[in-house]
Amino acid sequence: MPLLIVDDSESSLLALETAVRGFAGCEVESFTNPLEALARCREVDFDVVLVDYLMPEMNGIEMIRRLRRQPGYEDVPVVMITSQAKRAVRLEALEAGATDFLAKPFDPLELQARVLNLMALHKAQLALADRAKSLDMAFRHATEQADMREQEIIWCLAQAMASRDGNTGDHIERVANIAELIAEGLGLDRIQRRNIYLAAPLHDIGKIAIPDAILQKPGKLERHEIERMREHVPIGVAILANSSAELSRVATAIIAGHHEKWDGSGYPKGLSGDAIPIEARIVAVADVFEALCSDRPYKQAWPIERAYEEIIACSGSHFDPACVAAFRRKWPAIRALFEHGADEDHSMAISNG
């Protein structure tokens, strides 16, 4: 293990070298100039540092301060060798980062014992750090695997539901991508954007309990059929009611609120403004826009520019103006989803988390 000694006195340096040389696996480097010693520390990772207090150019306390600021030397044991017994000096050295003290003139056996103990301590610290790093990597890998399985389950469930509603996987995929883009336009952080992206496909999961005769009816729904259709919201909420996961919380907020309107005229609760969860406000824009651009049993797809104008026109009534503004900022990327397909964007969104 490499050990560094810094002392401006040649005789003291020789005595220190003599005391510590011969330790099993101990490689000693010594300097009389603290600046040269600091430069060497940028090249070598020493396991223990012995530094004198009184030296020209800078004293031992200042050297310790500078050493602690160098990457990799935050926790390396540093022993200050000093004839100073003043409490103030020792306190200042401790504040600078000194680990231990050795009085001059020193006892060679005491020095050997302290250095051996500090080397063992540092070795244990390094082993603990390596173990923590390994555990962190294992945890990250396990989390990534769980996230992938969770995402696959969500996507399969959402696609099964979409097929009953007369849609293809493209619909839920585009809704997820548009919602993620709007969230990005609003400045939401990476985790929020990822949760919205993953939860958005579940926005109509409650339709799995709605009869096909209503879901796929080619004409206008009767009043009682509209009421039955609207039941997909509480049904969807109930499906996720027993989950405490954060993703389920986001999905529930989306399911419960994506048919609410900014002006309070939506359903099921008639919420308005900021009382509607931001996740639901985002998905409301994405879902309506994608629906306008898609063929449905009861209508033909609108031209994309006409659908865009409709979203803009409904800012402040149906939709949150901030979400519409983000939609406008992200319009080139959203339009590209329909011009080139969503496959590439879907893969990018997954990899970006």
Tens of pLDDT, residues 134-166: 777 877 777 667 667 766 767 777 776 666 665
What is the model's pLDDT at position 342?
41
Global pTM reads: 0.58
Cβ atoms of 119 and 47 closer than 8 Å: yes
What is the model's pLDDT at position 117?
80
What is the model's pLDDT at position 352?
40
What is the model's pLDDT at position 118?
82
Residues of the chain where predicted confidence (pLDDT) is lower than 70: 22-25, 84-85, 143-144, 146-147, 150-151, 153, 160-169, 340-353
Could you read off the pLDDT of 237-257 as tens digits, one per residue?
Answer: 998 887 777 888 999 999 999
The contacts of residue 110 (CB under 8 Å, 6+ apart) are 102
What is the model's pLDDT at position 196?
95
Residue 239 to residue 251: CA distance in whole angstroms? 11
What is the model's pLDDT at position 350?
37
What is the model's pLDDT at position 173?
84
The SS3 assignment for 316 reads coil
What is the model's pLDDT at position 226?
93
Burial class for 16, CB neighbours closer than 10 Å (0-12, 13-18, 19+)? buried
Task: Please state, in angstroms and as integers, the Cα–Cα distance from residue 81 to each residue in 6, 62, 112, 310, following that order.
Answer: 10, 14, 13, 78
